[in-house]
Amino acid sequence: MFLTECKQAAIYTTEDVYLCDAAVSHIEEDSAILTVNKLNTNQLLTEAHVTFFDSSKGLVTYSCEFTEFQKSMRTANADLLFTRCTAIEQLSVMQRRNDIKVSVNIPVTLSAKIEGKTQSDIAATIWNISAGGIFLTSHQQFRVGDIVDFHFFHPDLPAVPLHAEILRIQEHRHLRKIIGSAAKDTELIGYGCRFSRLPSRAESQIRNYVFRQDLIHRRWISSLD
């Protein structure tokens, strides 16, 4: 089957000009139904490149053929268009899920056991995120192997308590490449972290968020060409 677990895609022309997003359903051996908004059959060409974000495979781009165009019969969704998308050729796989990371700027409050004592209300900022982990900065000194606990207060990310293990400590002189002008604060310390005991639902939410943000970024890059 050309897709494993996919609910969203982005459609491009064969010259890789972005057209629209699409909802994905009814996945079969080599095809799926795409639902798009505010396009007609003239705008949606019979052949295109489609980037699917599949929860298992990552960002997968296929050369596709569209057939069986059908408009929604419901008045409230009169602009919706359904089409069968058949995969002709796989063009690329843009990394597996744990490898894709996107830049963010999300303040969080950490708690952690430091030298046997639990400390809370530790200010930190998350600068990038993947389905496997995060990179954060803080004034607090941690050691490799420490576990930090935190919540995301973000509408597209899990609202449950999360845990991450400190895997590496980033020297301050290397922080500017990651956090830009915020590196002027010479007291900041960078930490590469791996999620620990991540619930499957939370992992799915993070993975989908990362895929969406990566698609938005790639679409923006495409618009500059």
Q: What is the pLDDT of residues 49-71, one digit of tens each?
A: 998 878 777 778 899 999 888 87
Q: Which residues of 66-79 are buried (b: 16+ CB within 10 A; e: fewer)?
A: beeeeeeeeeeeee
CATH of domain 101-207: 2.40.10.220
- pLDDT by residue (tens digit) across 139-163? 999 999 999 999 998 888 888 899 9
pTM, entire model = 0.64
- pLDDT tens string 78-112: 578 889 999 999 998 865 545 678 999 999 999 99
CATH number of 6-94: 2.40.10.220
Range(s) of the chain covered by CATH 2.40.10.220: 6-94, 101-207
What percent of the chain shows pLDDT beyond 90?
39
Task: Give the whole-angstrom CA distance, residue 199 versus residue 202.
Answer: 5
Residue 120 CB-density burial (10 A; 0-12 exposed, 13-18 middle, 19+ buried): exposed
* pLDDT, position 57: 77
